[in-house]
Amino acid sequence: ATPTALMVGTGRGAQLGILIKGPEVLESTRRVDTVVVDKTGTVTTGTMSLHDVIAADGQDGEQVLRFAGALEDASEHPIARAITRAARDRFTTLPEVEQFTNIAGLGVQGMIDGHAVVIGRAKLLRDWSLHLTTELQRAVDAAESEGKTAVGIGWDGQARGVLVVADTVKPTSREAVAQFRELGLTPIMLTGDNNSAARAIAAQVGIGEVIAEVLPQDKVDVIKRLQAEGKVVAMVGDGVNDAAALAQADLGLAMGTGTDVAIEASDLTLVRGDLRAAADAIRLSRRTLSTIK
Ligand code: ADP
Ligand code: MG
């Protein structure tokens, strides 16, 4: 490939809202056959809102929301932002939290009024020997079957409630997936969220293959495994938890609306956070390279 032709491709990329780290990046996109997409913030807007608070039998829903809002105040996660925003709308003050700890890909924990409180995936609650009641589990299952995310909350040895948050699919994601297929690329969704919520979102945008419940540090291993199967992988993501996988992929594409860490780890940045730009980038690189052959 001649440098001039590649520079032309780079310039055209900028017009399409694609920032390319260096002209050589276009060459590595040519053989891509698989596009792995993160869910939250990539396929969806990433702006969640609280839809429901379900208190366990005999528990006070107000206290569940107050404790959850207080504990999540220290977390940057979209789930946390939704919960704290709702709690602040409802209560003028939230209790103090001590010894806050974030457990990446699982949830958060901390001390409130002498209670050790934990919020997150059912797996995290189980690690704390907190078991969801049948009624809470039913609420979780119902929410997840609709593509919503449900997190549990508990303290003092008991599961106390479930908080349901939901995010919306970006209006452009479905069209982007259709374009991936037209380009002969296989789309796969990769997420830390639970399997049924992930499948429901994937179905809304036309993705059939879903790898869910993957811890942040394990996303990179999923990319390596696909590469070991002979696939040439593009990965699209936005979060801190996607950075290692973006760097490992044959082509890393970051949402411009995402975190700096994700952008730094990537070869391309999709300025507007529109997944269709990922298809544009792959199409552009193929076209650029075929004109210079
Ligand atoms: P994704 O890959 O979709 O961006 P993450 O790896 O960030 O998801 O999170 C995976 C799961 O861990 C979430 O769906 C949620 O169940 C749980 N989780 C992570 N952070 C928090 C938090 N601050 N509060 C509650 N649950 C959380
Ligand atoms: Mg994300």
SS3 of the chain: the string is: CCHHHHHHHHHHHHHCCEEECCCCHHHHHCCCCEEEEEHHHHHECCCCEEEEEEECCCCCHHHHHHHHHHHHCCCCCHHHHHHHHHHHHHCCCCCCCEEEEEECCCEEEEEECCEEEEEECHHHHHHCCCCCCHHHHHHHHHHHHCCCEEEEEEECCEEEEEEEEECCECCCHHHHHHHHHHCCCEEEEECCCCHHHHHHHHHHHCCCEEECCCCHHHHHHHHHHHHHCCCCEEEEECCHHHHHHHHHCCEEEEECCCCHHHHHHCCEEECCCCCHHHHHHHHHHHHHHHHCC
Lowest mean pLDDT among 29-33, 172-176, 260-264: 29-33
pLDDT at residue 177, as a whole number: 98
Percent over 90 (pLDDT), the chain: 82
How far, in Å, from the CA of 77 to the mean position of ligand 2?
Answer: 9
CB of 81 sitting under 6 A from ligand 1: no
Catalytically annotated residues:
38
CB of 252 sitting under 6 A from ligand 1: no
Mean pLDDT of 42-60: 95
pLDDT at residue 9, as a whole number: 66
pLDDT at residue 61, as a whole number: 96
- 7 pLDDT more than 60: no
Which ligand 1 atom is at minimum distance from the Cα of 119?
25
- 28 pLDDT more than 90: no
The residues whose Cβ lies within 5 A of ligand 2, an ion, are 38, 40-41, 238-239
Q: Which ligand is nearest to the CA of 214?
A: 1
Q: How confident is the model at residue 293 (pLDDT cuts 50, 70, 90)?
A: very low
Mean pLDDT of 118-132: 95
Q: Which ligand is nearest to the CA of 262?
A: 2
How far, in Å, from the CA of 192 to the mean position of ligand 1?
Answer: 6
CB of 239 sitting under 6 A from ligand 1: yes
The pick from 44, 79, 108, 189 for probing ligand 1's pocket by mutation, whose C-beta has the most ligand atoms within 8 angstroms, reads 79
Which ligand 1 atom is at minimum distance from the Cα of 78?
23
Q: How confident is the model at residue 202 (pLDDT cuts 50, 70, 90)?
A: very high
pLDDT in tens, 175-193: 999 999 999 999 999 999 9
CB of 109 sitting under 6 A from ligand 1: no
How far, in Å, from the CA of 215 to the mean position of ligand 1?
Answer: 9
pLDDT at residue 27, as a whole number: 74
pLDDT in tens, 269-284: 999 999 999 999 999 8
